[in-house]
Homo-oligomer: A and B are copies of this chain.
Amino acid sequence: MPNSPAVRILSTMEDVWDAYREDLQEVEYQIRQRIHSEVPLINTVAMQILSSGGKRIRPLLLILCARLFGYPSKESLILGSLIEYIHTATLLHDDVLDEADLRRGKQTARQLWGNHASILVGDYLYSQAMHQIAAFHNHGFNEVLADACRKMAEGEVLQLCANHRSDITEPEYLQIIEYKTATLIAAACKIGAIIGGASPSEQAALYRFGMNLGMAFQLTDDLLDYEADGSRLGKPLGQDIRQGMITLPLLHLLKTGSPQDQQRIRTYLAAGSIGDFEMADIMAMLRQYDSLTYVLDRSREYVDAAQRVLDLIPVCSAKHSLAIVACFMIQRDQ
């Protein structure tokens, strides 16, 4: 088995993707296979967004967490595809809520087929995932996934309430991203652990691992919004703040900046439209007050916490891969 992940020494994220390529190809197959709505428009819309180049980080985590405890199983690949349905459902609803025109550089579903189709196909993907999960007859799966869905909706509403508010606190912000992003990643890890045969305490540990990873993932996303150029991320620089979303870099700036600088940012936010001039000024202040470094440091703390959870798990190739994935959370550039 020259290509088996068990013998190859992996050192980069590319190595990990390579090592689990076959598993992930099967996930892709399951994703295509399991949509099967009788309604052609649902298949079209769902497949457009499902095949638009997402990295499948959630299925990968699920597969790796399953392999920590057990042999490779087809079930983990099917469950990986269902986690991706849930994630995709949130993207479809998000794009409607954010009035987004582009996702990964391509037209969004709502641009191609309208808001109605996007909301409804999102509803379909949620319930198709819940239906297929139910067929496993595993209470843990149903509970973990429904809990994640509920928290994601709560996180989105919290974010809606926080929109345009420059006085939200860091703990409030962290709760939003925990709910809207980290819980689904935590759920993917826990479901992997369950199917792999982990004990309840191991399941709880992997849930914590995923939660920390998810926090780092979202904080990196917030950073990329201020760092990436439009072509790489497939969306314009500073899109969050232009939509009134105040993420951790800006919260740091609003706490540490001089009173005059804080006031200037509040004036920009209150005006409701951030032009290129205002954006350049904000970027300069973010650098001046080391706000991006602050967020990167916070993100690193979450990765460290995730690695400490892994310390509880016996050495194996899947554990090694999970450690690489954890580091990747703060190194990724898209």
Please report A residues at the B interface, Cβ cutoff 8 Å: 37-39, 41-42, 93, 96-97, 116-117, 119-121, 123-124, 126-128, 130-131, 133-135, 137, 139, 142-143, 146-147, 149-150, 152-154, 156-158, 160-161
Shortest CB-to-CB span from A73 to chain B, Å, is 20
A143 adjacent to B153 (CB under 8 Å):
no
By a CB distance below 8 angstroms, the chain B residues around A41 are: 157, 160-161
Shortest CB-to-CB span from A183 to chain B, Å, is 11
Shortest CB-to-CB span from A162 to chain B, Å, is 11
Shortest CB-to-CB span from A42 to chain B, Å, is 5
A155 and B275 CA atoms in complex are apart in Å by 43
A157 adjacent to B121 (CB under 8 Å):
yes
Chain A facing B: main interface SS: helix
A117 and B157 CA atoms in complex are apart in Å by 7
Which residue of B127, B137, B142, B154 is within 8 Å of A153 (Cβ)? Answer: B127
Shortest CB-to-CB span from A87 to chain B, Å, is 14
> Nearest residue in B to A121 (C-beta to C-beta)?
B157
B157 adjacent to A39 (CB under 8 Å):
yes
Shortest CB-to-CB span from A153 to chain B, Å, is 4
Shortest CB-to-CB span from A37 to chain B, Å, is 6
> Nearest residue in B to A123 (C-beta to C-beta)?
B153
Other contacts beyond A37-B154, A97-B120: 20, CB < 8 A: A37-B157, A39-B154, A41-B161, A42-B154, A93-B119, A97-B119, A116-B160, A120-B153, A121-B153, A121-B157, A123-B126, A123-B153, A123-B156, A127-B146, A127-B150, A128-B150, A130-B142, A131-B143, A133-B146, A135-B143
A24 and B139 CA atoms in complex are apart in Å by 29
| Interface-centre pick from A39, A152, A158 (highest chain B CB count, 10 A) | A39
